[in-house]
Amino acid sequence: EVQLQQSGAELGKPGTSVKLSCKVSGYNIRNTYMHWVNQRPGKGLEWIGRIDPANGNTIYAEKFKSKATLTADTSSNTAYMQLSQLKSDDTAIYFCAMGVYYGYVMDAWGQGASVTVSS
Amino acid sequence: DIVLTQSPVLAVSLGQRATISCRASQSVSISSINLMHWYQQKPGQQPKLLIYRASNLASGIPARFSGSGSGTDFTLTIDPVQADDIAAYYCQQSRESPLTFGSGTKLEIK
């Protein structure tokens, strides 16, 4: 069974950074892309970007290019997302997601990690 | 960016058919492959893939869910609607980056 286990809730102060993790079991992340998606309170889903863990190549949505940094460690089968210069607008649930069975469609999702930005 | 437009709310009676639409600002199809996917999200949960590439049912998803469409117009159908289907439904395109989601349709019971 493929599982994506995300790190726990984070509380960050404005201007600081947080780093979220997504540890995968049951599938080699080198064989897929890892996507990150956020959901602000009461809002819809928003794609942040994706990384190809096999070579580290990344693509970001324009608005997240200076906000998010995606990395992956294939030795531990774990993907990471660092969010920098936190603002209250970054308060959201962050999901990792990847394609396992249907090409690069996001068919496996982590449980989500809450990030709250508050002084 | 490709904008996906969904109606915010759909109210249906239990046992009836629900039709959720998604319109793209430009074609999301490549050589007859329709790069549109549908997700269900219940409160407090992660999204779940229902339909991939417009009309293919994901593993473990009940056959009362189906998808259709091509080019810019896509539809998710639930027939018959059951109480467990109360959720938000999102379309998502993978035709080009940035990947984009529709704003979601909340399915409510009449």
- Backbone phi, psi, residue A30, to 5°: -65, -20
**Residue owning tokens 């046992």:** B15
- Which parts of chain B sit beneath pLDDT 70? none
Chain B partners within 8 Å of A97 (Cβ): 46-47
Distance in angstroms (rounded) separating the CA atoms of residues A92 and B91: 20
Residue A73 predicted with pLDDT over 90: yes
Q: Which residue in A92, A78, A69 sits closest to A12, CA to CA? A: A92
Q: What is the rounded average pLDDT of the residues A60-76?
A: 98
So what's the pLDDT on residue B84? 96
So what's the pLDDT on residue A103? 85
3-state SS assignment for residue A62? helix
Task: Tell me the per-residue pLDDT of B35-59, one tens digit each, with 9 for 90 and over.
Answer: 999 999 999 999 999 999 999 999 9
Distance in angstroms (rounded) separating the CA atoms of residues B73 and A4: 32
Do the chains contact at B104 and A109, CB–CB below 8 Å? no
Do the chains contact at A44 and B58, CB–CB below 8 Å? no
Residue A6 predicted with pLDDT over 90: yes
**From the candidates A39, A106, A114, which should be mutated to test the interface with B, based on the most B CB atoms within 10 A?**
A106
Q: Give the chain A residue nearest B100 (alpha carbons).
A: A47
Q: Give the chain B residue nearest A103 (alpha carbons).
A: B52
Q: Check: CB of residue A2 under 8 Å from CB of residue A58.
A: no
Q: Which residue in B44, B92, B88, B38 sits closest to B65, CA to CA? A: B38
Q: What percent of chain A has pLDDT over 90?
A: 97
Name the pLDDT band for A104 (thresholds 50, 70, 90).
confident
Q: What distance in Å separates residue A97's CA from the closest CA in chain B?
A: 9
So what's the pLDDT on residue B83? 96
**Residue owning tokens 């396992």:** A100
Helix ranges (DSSP H) in chain A: none
Measure CB to CB from residue A105 to each of B37, B41, B46 and give the nearest one.
B37
Q: Check: CB of residue A82 under 8 Å from CB of residue A50.
A: no
Q: Which residue in B90, B94, B88 sits closest to B102, CA to CA? A: B90
So what's the pLDDT on residue A90? 98
A97 interface with B at CB cutoff 8 Å: yes
Q: Beginning with the edge strand found earlier in the chain, give each strand of the sheet holding A18-25 in spatial order.
A: A3-6, A18-25, A78-83, A68-73
Retrieve residue A54's tokens: 């096999």
Retrieve residue B52's tokens: 């991939």
B7 interface with A at CB cutoff 8 Å: no
Name the pLDDT band for A48 (thresholds 50, 70, 90).
very high
Do the chains contact at B47 and A45, CB–CB below 8 Å? yes
Q: Which residue in B10, B11, B94 sits closest to A103, CA to CA? A: B94
Q: Which residue in B45, A20, B29 sits closest to B37, CA to CA? A: B29
